[in-house]
Structure 1
Amino acid sequence: MHGQVSQDTPVAVPADLIWDVYRGLELGRLVDKIAPDVLGRVEFLEGDGGVGTIAKFTFPPAPGIPEGGYMKERFIKVDDENRVKETEVIEGGYKALGFDVVRIRLEILEKDSESCIIRSSIVYEGDDKLADVVSHVSVKPLETMAEIVGKHLSDNKSTM
């Protein structure tokens, strides 16, 4: 079994500015700074933000999960020309639910000189026995991150 879920989030920030944040370590640093209670904490275990970088995300507590959860991912693609970043979950998160492969793809699509779309996707592969679990795969946290980061950058464009 394999599938994909995606969400497009429009933001009022130029694509190049969003990509500068999304492409490497800055996204994790910004999330830590502006939304740790909503999105969790990010820790970089290896790498400089390029392919091979390993990040650990510790999620905030949620109903039914008082201590939150975590996920480790490895950056597998950083394409500056097409503004695409892909990571593969290597531990925790949806991988802990039994999926064999879980990849996160973030694409920055230019709308015009002052706005863009952040397309967030999760691609998964696993045993057919996971059919009941598939309904829990959601890009909502990635959408929330895009909204929060987009608003922060839009509100602070003049100081950047």
Structure 2
Amino acid sequence: MLGQLRHETGIQAPATVVWQLFGSLELGRLVEKRLSNLFEKIEVVEGDGGEGTVLNLIFAPGLGMPSYKEKFTKIDNENRIKEAEVVEGGYLDIGFTLYRVRFKIIENGEDSCIVESTIEYEIMEEAAANASLVTIQPLIDIAQEANAYLLQNKQPKDA
């Protein structure tokens, strides 16, 4: 069984600035610091933030699953697309054969852009009920927190 969830969040910062955050390990540091209600810790297992980087995401207690490892499978700087797939634990332990997260940064004028967040998944038929556990809300929270962070740390145009 295949599934997909998608959401678009407006960001009040230029696409190039937003991509600097989303296309790097900086996003994980921001999320760990500012979304402790979702993530207890985000550890770099291997890599430098490029394709092939593996992260261990440890969730806050009470969120249903303790942790999983994800691998950056695509980082397209030209089109501002980053994809990560769960490679160990988490969704793979409850019948999913694929769980992929994608962020795409879409230019929307000089000083704003859109973060298109997508979750794609495949799940075995016998575990189909677990598809109801998939939610786009954490990705929405990440995009909204990124917007708040970028607004707080906005550089003056003259700088």
Q: TM-score, normalised by structure 1?
A: 0.90
- Indicate yes or no: 2:29 matched with 1:32: no
- Indicate yes or no: 2:154 matched with 1:157: yes
Structure-2 separation of matches of 1:58 and 1:153 = 25
Alignment of 1:7-18 (within 5 A): 7-18=7-18
Aligned-pair CA distance for 1:3: 1.4
Aligned-pair CA distance for 1:62: 2.7
Aligned-pair CA distance for 1:33: 2.6
Structure-2 separation of matches of 1:39 and 1:110 = 29
Q: 1:50 corresponds to which residue?
A: 50
* Deviates most, 131-140 or 103-112: 131-140
Aligned-pair CA distance for 1:29: 1.4
Q: Structure 2: which 5+ runs fail to align?
A: none
Partner of 1:112, secondary structure, is coil
Q: 2:135 corresponds to which residue?
A: 138
Aligned-pair CA distance for 1:114: 0.9
Aligned-pair CA distance for 1:95: 2.0
The runs of 4+ residues in structure 1 deviating greater than 6 Å are: none
Partner of 2:129, secondary structure, is coil
**Counterpart contact for 2:50–2:72, Cα < 8 Å:** yes
Structure-1 separation of matches of 2:10 and 2:90 = 26
Structure-2 separation of matches of 1:84 and 1:92 = 24
- Indicate yes or no: 2:112 matched with 1:110: no
Aligned residues: 157
Partner of 2:96, secondary structure, is coil
Structure-2 separation of matches of 1:155 and 1:93 = 33
Structure-2 separation of matches of 1:69 and 1:134 = 18
Q: Structure 1: which 5+ runs fail to align?
A: none
- Indicate yes or no: 2:100 matched with 1:125: no
